[in-house]
A and B are shown apart, each in its own frame.
Chain A
Amino acid sequence: MTVKGQSWGRYPRADQRLIALTDRHAPLPSFEGSALPHGNGRSYGDSCLNHDGTLLHTRGLDRLIAFDPATGVLRCEAGVLLADILDFAVAQGWFLPVTPGTKFVTVGGAIANDVHGKNHHVAGCFSEWVNGFELLRSDGSRRWCSPSENADWFAATAGGLGLTGVITWAELRLRRVRGAWMNVETHRFSRLREFLQLSAASESDYEYTVAWIDCAARGDRLGRGHFIRANHAPAGDGPARPRRRLAVPVTPPVSLINSLSLRAFNTLYYHRQRGRVAHALTHYEPYFYPLDSIGDWNRIYGRRGFLQYQCVVPPEDAEHTLTDLIEQIADSGTGSFLAVLKMFGQRRSAGILSFPRPGATLALDFPNDGHATFELLERLDDVVAAAGGAVYPAKDARMRADRFRAYFPAWETLRPYLDPRFSSGFWRRVTE
């Protein structure tokens, strides 16, 4: 069966055959051409798509294997969603040590992109908490990969974009929490320098730090936003957990995000908080996964979809580089409701192609307006490349091959570990 598939950004589209994996003990099914593992499709661009090839759907590998409530060590199949883990673990006092901004990603997808969360400065990337995983290759071989056993395969596969084989199951270490609640503190700041100061001042006492910035503001308002720092709350109850789930029912023919709605929203958002500092006790769900409560929110960008752009720039000139980037974005009149800004810490990532590295990371969405959007992103790439930064493959649909190679100079080290029968749209674009 050939099916048109999309990633979370709904751009690009790809025709591919789907094969469902449902039994971790079974050999890989036979396929023609190239194949690519596919988790829950929460990557934005073409790194989880394989035009004219096969996608090996892993969501059918969604069984928990064993959990030790005394140590927090969990074994589970690779298609298990982070949401499934939280569903049973939080009640027993355990939490994900690292989580991205949506809980609808699979364990396999989280390893293959070596995802990060708001606690990178203390917890590093997802793979730091992976004791090991089984890697199944197209030649039928199975390998247990851990930081000590087949360590080279571990480093190639964590952040390896699904190109080294299929992860069938993994063993993870969860972390203790007292309950489901977070102590959250929000500081309004009016310029980038303040963000950097708040980040530095919060690093040692706050596990989670992130900022939302108004990417439409220019001039002396440039770089204003809210800095949010949080810790898990010591036990106890909080207000009732929010339960309402909204959904975007249809895809509008054109994007609902335009320069007008954007400026209005950003200004409102910035001013929603009266005082400079606000405290709240918040359930972990709206705190970590604000967008998950709006189903299919990616549809508001209309039929042409959108492009996400996430980059990291070195800490030395972060203020300068970010100013450049935000100026370009504000001048273009496009961009997302809110841009996310965070300082990555010093922790070295385990994967050869892991994206996080010390510095400031900025992420935002752009409605796909064709040429103008691609040109803008190209200009942003100029700034990032000149500063010695990098762009995140999990969120990319268009970076040039020479850029990728500059951002990830170690990419060729991956070559010997690539499964010869695996490929992706992204990989062909940046290596051929």
Chain B
Amino acid sequence: MRRILIIGATSAIAEATARQFAARGDALFLVGRDASRLKAIADDLGVRGAVRTATASLEVTDFAAHAAVLEQADRDLGGLDTVLIAHGTLSNQRECEESVETLRREFDINALSVMALLTPLANRFAAQGHGTIAVISSVAGDRGRMSNYAYGAAKAAVSAFLSGLRQRLQKSGVNVLTIKPGFVDTPMTRDFPKGALWAKPEDVAKGIVNAIDKGRSVAYLPWFWSLIMLVIKHVPEFLFKRVKL
């Protein structure tokens, strides 16, 4: 049985991942914004086999509230083996171009809050000498593109932070996993035709659990995104600036 903390537990990927853990009989502490949705998810995970579920509400940009929630999760589960950070907003690029206020808010949510949560968590995990820290970043962080570079830049910050943290925690036996999903199909469009690049949250969830179990460092999900991004990262800038992406 693992004791797992999930932040951003109402996101489609996080919920699908939590179901995989629940079916294995893990204990789960769920953090999100909306108490009634968290309760609905916790009940579901209980029926699916989780040995224990508990929830707490948190606005991730309320930095002052972080410590208490982490403390509560640790106490409630009797320690933590795994943490999955999954919260985020898909920023509106156009609005970020027009409003510094919006840009800062998006950075607070997608980058700063993640790093802020990781800081005490990393110290805690380093001290205990084991565990997995898994964070959902994005392929969008691999290269800024005109269609979403505000979001991409925040994710790039998270990815860089994680790679440094991974090096630091390596010797304490803590694994840091960067998860980079490509396009993920939401419930809304599940049955309707779309490109072959779209993955289902359940498939991404399987990939996450697998990467955690295997102690991997970076997981592109589905795997073919590693090839796509390999190409995209290596297009020379003089060419890249001419394409519309």
List A residues at the B interface (Cβ < 8 Å): 3-5, 18-20, 22-25, 40-41, 57, 59-60, 62-67, 77, 79, 88
Contact = CB atoms under 8 A, between A and B. Distances in A.
A4 B44 contact: no
A4 B41 CA distance: 31
B49 A88 contact: yes
Contacts of A41: 191
Nearest to A20: B188
B37 interface: yes
A278 B37 CA distance: 51
A20 B191 CA distance: 12
A59 B185 CA distance: 12
30 contacts: A3-B189, A5-B192, A18-B188, A18-B192, A19-B188, A20-B186, A20-B187, A23-B36, A24-B40, A25-B36, A25-B37, A25-B40, A41-B191, A57-B190, A59-B187, A59-B191, A60-B187, A63-B40, A63-B41, A63-B44, A64-B43, A64-B44, A64-B48, A65-B43, A65-B44, A66-B43, A66-B47, A77-B40, A88-B23, A88-B49
- Give the most central of B40, B49, B191: most A CB within 10 Å: B191
Nearest to B190: A59
Contact of B191 (A40, A62, A64): A40
A57 B188 CA distance: 6
Contacts of A64: 43-44, 47-48
B236 interface: no
Q: Identify whether the interface residues of B are mostly helix, strand, loop, or mixed.
A: helix
B193 interface: yes
Contacts of B34: 23
A376 to B, nearest CB: 29
A4 B48 CA distance: 34
Contacts of A60: 186-188
A341 to B, nearest CB: 30
By Cβ-Cβ distance, the 8 closest A-B pairs, closest first, are: A20-B188, A60-B187, A63-B44, A64-B47, A41-B191, A67-B47, A64-B44, A59-B187
B47 A88 contact: yes
Given A5-B192, A88-B49, A63 B43 contact: yes
A23 B39 CA distance: 11
